[in-house]
Structures are given as C-alpha cells and as structure tokens.
Amino acid sequence: MDLLNNDNLKKKTGGFNILSGDSTSGHGGYGAGVMNLDNVSPIFVDPAEGEAFVDMGALHARSAVEKRIKFLPDKEKVPNGKLYWLVWVTIQYKDSKPYYAGVAG
C-alpha cells in the first residue's frame, strides 16, 4: 500500500478551523478569519471553595469539570450541583513582555 498516494491522503476541507499556530499575515487567503487559541488559558473558579485552577482541556470541552456530566437547563433537577465559573484569559506580547490582552467569563 502506498501511503503517500494522493488517494490515501486526507483532503483538506474549507471548514472553520478553531486552532492555528500559523498567522495569515493579512493576506486574506485560505485560513483568513481563523481563531487562534495559542495564547488562551481557561481558568475554572470554584466560588464555594475559593479556589481557581487552569484546565487546558476546556479548550475542547474536555476539562475535568465537563467530563462525565449532563447539562440540564433546570437547576432544580440537578441534586448536589456544583457551581463553577469559567474565565478565558488571553496573553499577548508587546516589547517582548507579556500582558493580559483580554478576559471573558
């Protein structure tokens, strides 16, 4: 089997990519408008315990908090439910120094 045969290669689609380590440099071609999550950190806050922790699995909805749970719209149907806040923090660099470029909850 020829693994490098074009028929065996996965074809690139024009779908929306959420991760990219490659800038489009403003050319507006393929990949323009791609959201770059390279400098984004998801921080979970547990207000009951007064603790916060980073869980990079949240970038793909696979954090320890999100695994093996079922989301329901009615709080009353969740016995012993636990409240978490999820905060997204972005860091950029200016003059070779990092700074907080944005925070969203």
Domain chopping of the chain, boundaries:
37-101
- pTM for the whole structure: 0.61
> Residue 71: is its pLDDT beyond 90?
no
Structure-derived torsion over alpha carbons of residues 70, 48, 41, 31, reported in degrees to the nearest 10: 30
Q: What is the pLDDT of residues 2-33, one digit of tens each?
A: 444 455 445 444 444 444 455 555 555 565 55
Distances in Å between the alpha carbon of 7 and those of 11, 12, 14, 22? 9, 12, 18, 26
Structure-derived torsion over alpha carbons of residues 35, 39, 101, 23, reported in degrees to the nearest 10: -50
Question: What local confidence, expressed as pLDDT, does residue 36 receive?
Answer: 67
> Residue 88: is its pLDDT beyond 60?
yes
Of 27 and 1, the structure prediction assigns the larger pLDDT to: 27
